Amino acid sequence: MQFIRLPVQQAEFFNKYLPVAELSVWIIFLLWSIQYLGSRGQLITLVPFLVFIILILYLAWYSLKDITTGVIFKTGKTHHINDHISVAGITGKITAMGMRNIEIEDYSGQIVTIPYSKIVGNIMLKSYPSQSLLSHNFRMKIAANENKDIFRTIENMHISILTLPWSSQKKEPKISIEMETDQYYILSITIFSLDESYFKKTEKYLQQQYKGTVL
C-alpha cells in the first residue's frame, strides 16, 4: 500500500480502513482453518494456536470496542467536524473523528484525544461559539473613605456592570472583597461577555465610576 500512488483522500481512506480489512481477513482465515483441520481430524493441533488467538483478541477488545462505538457515533451524524461540544469534562471544538478516538481542541488551544468508549453514557452538549460566554477576572483598589459602606458599593457596582450593553445578562458578575485596610479595599471582580474586547472597556468604566485603580 505504501508504494501505490493514490490521491491524498483515497490514500487516507485506505490507511484508515486497512487495519480493519486485515483483521477481517485473519478472522476469515481462522474460521476456514478450523473447518479445514476439523474435517481431517487434526483440530487438536490447532488448540495452542486458538488459545493464542483468544488471548490476542482479549487484549485487543478495548480497541475493538472503541472502533465499534466510533462507527455507531459517526453513523448517527449528530456531530460533525468544527462543532463545539462539551463531554467528559472537556469543552471545545471537534477537530477530528478518527477510527478509535475523537479529537477536541479546548479553548486554551490544547488538543484532547478521547476514546469513543469513554463518551458512551456521557451527556454531550452542543454549544455555539456565538453564544459562548467569556470570563475575565481582575482586581480593583478603591479608597475606603469614599466607600464607607463597602457592601452598598459592591451592590451598586454589580448593577452598573449589568447595565452595560455589552455585559452578559445570563451570567451575573462576581465581586468579592480580597483585602481590607483602613485606607483602601481590594476587590476581586469577574465579568462575563461575548467578546473579550469589552473587558478593557468595563475596567475603564469602573475606574471612572468608582475612582478606583485596576491592579
pLDDT of amino acid 16: 67
pLDDT tens track for 33-69: 777 776 766 555 666 677 777 767 776 676 677 777 7
Work out the pLDDT band at 107, boundaries 50, 70, 90: low
CA–CA separation, 35 vs 28, rounded Å? 11
Q: Report the amino acid identity of residue 149.
A: D
Q: In the chain, what are the domains?
A: 8-59 (no CATH), 78-130 (2.30.30.60), 133-214 (3.30.70.2040)
Residue 193 has pLDDT above 70, yes or no: yes
Residue 2 has pLDDT above 80, yes or no: no
CA–CA separation, 30 vs 33, rounded Å? 5
pLDDT of amino acid 7: 72
The proportion of the chain whose per-residue pLDDT surpasses 90, expressed as a percent, equals 0
pLDDT tens track for 124-167: 666 555 455 677 888 888 888 887 788 888 888 888 888 887 77
The proportion of the chain whose per-residue pLDDT surpasses 70, expressed as a percent, equals 74
Work out the pLDDT band at 178, boundaries 50, 70, 90: confident
For the chain, first and last CA: distance in Å? 61
Q: Which long-range contacts (CB under 8 A, 24 or more apart) does 73-80 make?
A: 73/97, 73/102, 73/116, 73/119, 79/124, 79/126
pLDDT of amino acid 130: 47
Please check whether residue 173 is in contact with residue 206, taking contact to mean a CB–CB distance below 8 angstroms.
no
pLDDT of amino acid 23: 75
CA–CA separation, 154 vs 157, rounded Å? 5
pLDDT of amino acid 32: 81
CA–CA separation, 88 vs 77, rounded Å? 19
pLDDT tens track for 63-83: 677 777 777 777 766 777 777
Work out the pLDDT band at 122, boundaries 50, 70, 90: low
pLDDT of amino acid 184: 85
